[in-house]
Amino acid sequence: MFEFHADRKRYFDIQVLNAEKYVIPFIGEKFPVKPGMRVLEIGCGEGGVLKAFINKGCEGVGVELDLPRVEDAKNFMAEDLAAGKIRFVSKDIYQVDPATELNGLFDIIVLKDVIEHIHDQPKLIGWMRHFLKPASADYPGGIIFFGFPPWYMPFGGHQQICRSKISRLPWIHLLPRGIYRRILTKKKEPVADLMEIRDTRISIERFEKICKKEGYSFLHHRHYLLNPIYEWKFGWKPRTQGLLIKAIPFFRNFLTTCVYYIIQVKVKPAP
Protein backbone atom coordinates (compact mmCIF):
# COMPACT_ATOMS: atom_id res chain seq x y z
CA MET A 1 0.00 0.00 0.00
CA PHE A 2 1.29 3.47 -0.82
CA GLU A 3 1.96 5.27 2.46
CA PHE A 4 -0.29 8.26 1.84
CA HIS A 5 -3.37 6.00 1.55
CA ALA A 6 -2.96 5.22 5.26
CA ASP A 7 -2.24 8.82 6.30
CA ARG A 8 -5.54 10.60 5.77
CA LYS A 9 -4.22 14.08 6.62
CA ARG A 10 -1.40 13.70 4.13
CA TYR A 11 -3.90 12.45 1.56
CA PHE A 12 -6.09 15.49 2.28
CA ASP A 13 -3.15 17.86 1.80
CA ILE A 14 -2.16 16.18 -1.47
CA GLN A 15 -5.72 16.50 -2.78
CA VAL A 16 -5.71 20.23 -1.96
CA LEU A 17 -2.43 20.77 -3.80
CA ASN A 18 -3.46 18.65 -6.79
CA ALA A 19 -6.78 20.48 -7.13
CA GLU A 20 -5.14 23.91 -6.82
CA LYS A 21 -2.40 23.14 -9.30
CA TYR A 22 -4.26 21.03 -11.88
CA VAL A 23 -8.01 20.55 -11.41
CA ILE A 24 -9.08 24.17 -10.93
CA PRO A 25 -6.78 25.52 -13.69
CA PHE A 26 -8.14 22.84 -16.07
CA ILE A 27 -11.71 23.87 -15.29
CA GLY A 28 -10.77 27.54 -15.54
CA GLU A 29 -9.58 27.12 -19.13
CA LYS A 30 -13.23 26.84 -20.22
CA PHE A 31 -15.27 27.86 -17.18
CA PRO A 32 -13.66 30.52 -14.96
CA VAL A 33 -13.88 29.62 -11.26
CA LYS A 34 -15.03 32.75 -9.43
CA PRO A 35 -15.55 33.68 -5.77
CA GLY A 36 -19.12 33.03 -4.67
CA MET A 37 -19.66 30.07 -6.97
CA ARG A 38 -21.34 27.03 -5.44
CA VAL A 39 -19.39 23.78 -5.73
CA LEU A 40 -20.73 20.30 -4.96
CA GLU A 41 -18.39 17.34 -4.66
CA ILE A 42 -19.93 13.88 -4.78
CA GLY A 43 -17.77 11.33 -2.97
CA CYS A 44 -15.76 14.11 -1.34
CA GLY A 45 -13.85 11.88 1.08
CA GLU A 46 -11.87 14.06 3.48
CA GLY A 47 -12.68 17.20 1.49
CA GLY A 48 -9.27 18.05 0.06
CA VAL A 49 -10.56 18.92 -3.41
CA LEU A 50 -13.31 21.08 -1.96
CA LYS A 51 -10.79 22.88 0.24
CA ALA A 52 -9.02 24.11 -2.90
CA PHE A 53 -12.27 25.65 -4.14
CA ILE A 54 -12.92 27.21 -0.73
CA ASN A 55 -9.48 28.80 -0.94
CA LYS A 56 -10.67 30.41 -4.20
CA GLY A 57 -13.66 31.98 -2.43
CA CYS A 58 -16.26 29.42 -3.46
CA GLU A 59 -18.98 27.92 -1.28
CA GLY A 60 -18.63 24.16 -0.94
CA VAL A 61 -20.91 21.23 -0.18
CA GLY A 62 -19.54 17.71 0.14
CA VAL A 63 -21.57 14.52 -0.04
CA GLU A 64 -19.87 11.40 1.29
CA LEU A 65 -21.43 8.11 2.40
CA ASP A 66 -18.43 7.02 4.52
CA LEU A 67 -19.07 8.71 7.87
CA PRO A 68 -15.51 8.36 9.28
CA ARG A 69 -14.15 10.22 6.26
CA VAL A 70 -16.71 12.98 6.82
CA GLU A 71 -15.58 13.27 10.44
CA ASP A 72 -11.99 13.65 9.22
CA ALA A 73 -13.13 16.32 6.75
CA LYS A 74 -14.84 18.26 9.52
CA ASN A 75 -11.68 18.14 11.63
CA PHE A 76 -9.38 19.14 8.77
CA MET A 77 -11.67 22.03 7.76
CA ALA A 78 -12.99 23.10 11.15
CA GLU A 79 -12.43 26.82 10.54
CA ASP A 80 -14.14 26.79 7.14
CA LEU A 81 -17.02 24.80 8.62
CA ALA A 82 -17.45 27.27 11.49
CA ALA A 83 -17.35 30.18 9.02
CA GLY A 84 -20.16 28.64 6.94
CA LYS A 85 -17.94 28.23 3.88
CA ILE A 86 -18.58 24.51 3.61
CA ARG A 87 -21.00 21.87 4.78
CA PHE A 88 -21.05 18.09 4.58
CA VAL A 89 -23.85 15.61 4.05
CA SER A 90 -23.21 11.97 4.98
CA LYS A 91 -25.81 10.32 2.82
CA ASP A 92 -26.41 8.38 -0.39
CA ILE A 93 -26.49 11.03 -3.13
CA TYR A 94 -29.71 9.54 -4.53
CA GLN A 95 -31.42 10.27 -1.20
CA VAL A 96 -30.36 13.93 -1.06
CA ASP A 97 -32.89 16.71 -1.66
CA PRO A 98 -31.04 19.64 -3.32
CA ALA A 99 -33.54 22.22 -2.09
CA THR A 100 -33.63 21.26 1.60
CA GLU A 101 -30.24 19.64 2.19
CA LEU A 102 -27.95 21.36 -0.30
CA ASN A 103 -29.55 24.82 -0.25
CA GLY A 104 -30.03 25.03 -3.99
CA LEU A 105 -28.22 24.40 -7.26
CA PHE A 106 -24.55 24.49 -8.23
CA ASP A 107 -22.18 26.12 -10.69
CA ILE A 108 -19.74 23.22 -10.52
CA ILE A 109 -20.12 19.56 -9.60
CA VAL A 110 -16.94 17.57 -9.01
CA LEU A 111 -16.42 13.82 -9.20
CA LYS A 112 -12.75 13.06 -8.79
CA ASP A 113 -11.79 9.38 -8.65
CA VAL A 114 -15.44 8.54 -7.99
CA ILE A 115 -17.28 7.56 -11.18
CA GLU A 116 -15.29 4.32 -11.45
CA HIS A 117 -16.84 3.25 -8.11
CA ILE A 118 -20.48 3.93 -9.07
CA HIS A 119 -22.63 0.92 -9.95
CA ASP A 120 -25.24 2.63 -12.13
CA GLN A 121 -23.13 5.23 -13.90
CA PRO A 122 -25.75 6.27 -16.49
CA LYS A 123 -28.27 6.89 -13.71
CA LEU A 124 -25.93 9.17 -11.74
CA ILE A 125 -24.62 11.07 -14.76
CA GLY A 126 -28.12 11.67 -16.07
CA TRP A 127 -29.52 12.54 -12.66
CA MET A 128 -26.88 15.17 -11.85
CA ARG A 129 -28.47 17.63 -14.26
CA HIS A 130 -30.99 18.29 -11.47
CA PHE A 131 -28.20 19.75 -9.31
CA LEU A 132 -26.84 22.19 -11.93
CA LYS A 133 -27.77 25.83 -12.36
CA PRO A 134 -29.53 26.15 -15.73
CA ALA A 135 -28.28 28.25 -18.61
CA SER A 136 -29.67 31.76 -19.07
CA ALA A 137 -29.05 34.76 -21.31
CA ASP A 138 -25.92 35.76 -19.36
CA TYR A 139 -24.91 32.43 -17.86
CA PRO A 140 -23.78 29.29 -19.75
CA GLY A 141 -25.16 26.86 -17.19
CA GLY A 142 -23.37 24.78 -14.58
CA ILE A 143 -20.72 22.18 -15.40
CA ILE A 144 -19.59 18.78 -14.14
CA PHE A 145 -15.92 17.87 -13.76
CA PHE A 146 -14.76 14.26 -13.88
CA GLY A 147 -11.29 12.94 -13.17
CA PHE A 148 -10.80 9.18 -13.23
CA PRO A 149 -8.40 6.37 -14.21
CA PRO A 150 -9.63 4.31 -17.17
CA TRP A 151 -10.16 0.70 -16.13
CA TYR A 152 -7.60 -0.78 -18.53
CA MET A 153 -4.72 1.42 -17.43
CA PRO A 154 -1.85 -0.28 -15.51
CA PHE A 155 -3.37 0.31 -12.05
CA GLY A 156 -7.00 0.79 -13.03
CA GLY A 157 -8.05 -1.90 -10.55
CA HIS A 158 -6.78 0.27 -7.66
CA GLN A 159 -4.47 -2.58 -6.68
CA GLN A 160 -2.18 0.07 -5.22
CA ILE A 161 -4.27 -0.18 -2.04
CA CYS A 162 -3.05 -3.75 -1.54
CA ARG A 163 -0.49 -4.61 1.13
CA SER A 164 1.19 -7.46 -0.76
CA LYS A 165 3.29 -7.37 -3.93
CA ILE A 166 0.03 -7.15 -5.87
CA SER A 167 0.19 -3.41 -5.24
CA ARG A 168 3.11 -3.20 -7.67
CA LEU A 169 1.77 -5.44 -10.44
CA PRO A 170 0.39 -3.49 -13.42
CA TRP A 171 -2.61 -4.88 -15.31
CA ILE A 172 -3.13 -7.77 -12.87
CA HIS A 173 -6.75 -6.62 -12.49
CA LEU A 174 -7.36 -7.60 -16.12
CA LEU A 175 -7.02 -11.30 -15.33
CA PRO A 176 -10.21 -13.39 -15.63
CA ARG A 177 -12.55 -12.67 -12.73
CA GLY A 178 -12.19 -16.02 -10.98
CA ILE A 179 -8.40 -16.08 -11.18
CA TYR A 180 -8.13 -12.50 -9.97
CA ARG A 181 -10.44 -13.20 -7.03
CA ARG A 182 -8.45 -16.29 -6.01
CA ILE A 183 -5.18 -14.35 -6.06
CA LEU A 184 -6.66 -11.58 -3.91
CA THR A 185 -8.08 -14.11 -1.47
CA LYS A 186 -4.81 -16.00 -1.19
CA LYS A 187 -2.93 -12.78 -0.47
CA LYS A 188 -5.57 -11.72 2.11
CA GLU A 189 -6.33 -8.49 0.27
CA PRO A 190 -9.65 -6.54 0.50
CA VAL A 191 -11.45 -8.82 -1.94
CA ALA A 192 -14.90 -7.20 -1.75
CA ASP A 193 -13.57 -3.68 -2.36
CA LEU A 194 -11.35 -4.67 -5.25
CA MET A 195 -13.98 -6.85 -6.90
CA GLU A 196 -16.49 -3.99 -6.63
CA ILE A 197 -14.06 -1.77 -8.53
CA ARG A 198 -13.81 -4.51 -11.14
CA ASP A 199 -17.59 -4.65 -11.43
CA THR A 200 -17.96 -0.88 -11.80
CA ARG A 201 -15.05 -0.43 -14.21
CA ILE A 202 -15.35 2.25 -16.86
CA SER A 203 -13.41 2.96 -20.06
CA ILE A 204 -12.94 6.26 -21.86
CA GLU A 205 -15.27 5.14 -24.64
CA ARG A 206 -18.02 3.99 -22.29
CA PHE A 207 -17.84 7.22 -20.31
CA GLU A 208 -18.15 9.35 -23.44
CA LYS A 209 -21.02 7.22 -24.75
CA ILE A 210 -22.96 7.58 -21.47
CA CYS A 211 -22.50 11.36 -21.38
CA LYS A 212 -23.73 11.77 -24.95
CA LYS A 213 -26.71 9.50 -24.36
CA GLU A 214 -27.68 11.42 -21.23
CA GLY A 215 -27.79 14.71 -23.13
CA TYR A 216 -24.46 16.35 -22.33
CA SER A 217 -21.87 18.01 -24.52
CA PHE A 218 -18.12 17.97 -23.87
CA LEU A 219 -16.77 21.36 -22.93
CA HIS A 220 -13.17 20.28 -22.32
CA HIS A 221 -11.06 17.15 -21.89
CA ARG A 222 -7.46 16.10 -21.31
CA HIS A 223 -5.87 12.65 -21.25
CA TYR A 224 -2.74 12.03 -19.19
CA LEU A 225 0.04 9.56 -19.80
CA LEU A 226 1.22 10.45 -16.27
CA ASN A 227 -1.51 11.36 -13.80
CA PRO A 228 -0.99 14.74 -12.07
CA ILE A 229 -1.29 13.02 -8.68
CA TYR A 230 1.94 11.14 -9.47
CA GLU A 231 3.79 14.37 -8.73
CA TRP A 232 3.16 13.66 -5.05
CA LYS A 233 3.13 9.85 -5.21
CA PHE A 234 6.39 9.36 -7.09
CA GLY A 235 7.87 12.79 -7.79
CA TRP A 236 6.94 12.49 -11.48
CA LYS A 237 5.77 15.52 -13.39
CA PRO A 238 2.40 15.14 -15.19
CA ARG A 239 2.56 14.38 -18.87
CA THR A 240 -0.35 14.61 -21.26
CA GLN A 241 -1.08 11.75 -23.60
CA GLY A 242 0.43 11.87 -27.10
CA LEU A 243 -2.00 12.84 -29.84
CA LEU A 244 -1.49 9.58 -31.74
CA ILE A 245 -2.27 7.35 -28.75
CA LYS A 246 -5.14 9.60 -27.68
CA ALA A 247 -6.74 9.17 -31.10
CA ILE A 248 -6.78 5.36 -31.00
CA PRO A 249 -10.03 4.11 -29.40
CA PHE A 250 -9.74 1.37 -26.77
CA PHE A 251 -5.94 1.00 -27.06
CA ARG A 252 -5.52 4.45 -25.46
CA ASN A 253 -7.10 3.10 -22.25
CA PHE A 254 -4.07 0.88 -21.57
CA LEU A 255 -1.60 3.78 -21.60
CA THR A 256 -3.71 6.62 -20.19
CA THR A 257 -3.44 6.79 -16.40
CA CYS A 258 -6.00 9.56 -15.90
CA VAL A 259 -8.54 11.61 -17.82
CA TYR A 260 -10.09 14.99 -17.02
CA TYR A 261 -13.44 15.97 -18.54
CA ILE A 262 -15.89 18.85 -18.25
CA ILE A 263 -19.42 18.21 -19.44
CA GLN A 264 -22.43 20.49 -19.68
CA VAL A 265 -26.10 19.93 -20.38
CA LYS A 266 -26.78 20.45 -24.06
CA VAL A 267 -28.72 23.59 -24.77
CA LYS A 268 -31.46 22.98 -27.29
CA PRO A 269 -31.40 25.49 -30.15
CA ALA A 270 -34.19 28.00 -30.19
CA PRO A 271 -37.04 27.07 -32.58
The class level of CATH for 3-152+201-265 reads alpha beta
Sign of CA dihedral 159, 161, 164, 165: positive
Q: Determine the pLDDT at residue 81.
A: 96
pTM reported for the whole predicted model: 0.94
Could you read off the pLDDT of 212-252 as tens digits, one per residue?
999 999 999 999 999 999 999 889 999 999 999 999 999 99
- Where along the chain do its domains lie? 3-152+201-265, 159-199
Q: Determine the pLDDT at residue 97.
A: 83
CA distances (Å), origin 53, targets 56, 64, 74, 165: 5, 17, 16, 37
CA distances (Å), origin 216, targets 83, 96, 114, 209: 35, 22, 19, 10
β-bridge pairing 59-63 and 38-42: parallel
Report the chain's C-alpha Rg in angstroms.
18
Could you read off the pLDDT of 48-61 as tens digits, one per residue?
999 999 999 999 99
Interatomic CA distance for residues 158 and 117, integer angstroms = 11
Interatomic CA distance for residues 53 and 146, integer angstroms = 15
Buried b (16+ CB within 10 A) or exposed e, 103-136: eebbbbbbbbbbbbbbeebeebbbebbebbbeee
Among 123, 156, 109, residue whose Cα is nearest residue 259:
156
Eight-class DSSP state of 270: P
Could you read off the pLDDT of 99-149 as tens digits, one per residue?
788 989 999 999 999 999 999 999 999 999 989 999 999 999 999 999 999
Could you read off the pLDDT of 11-27 as tens digits, one per residue?
999 999 999 999 999 99
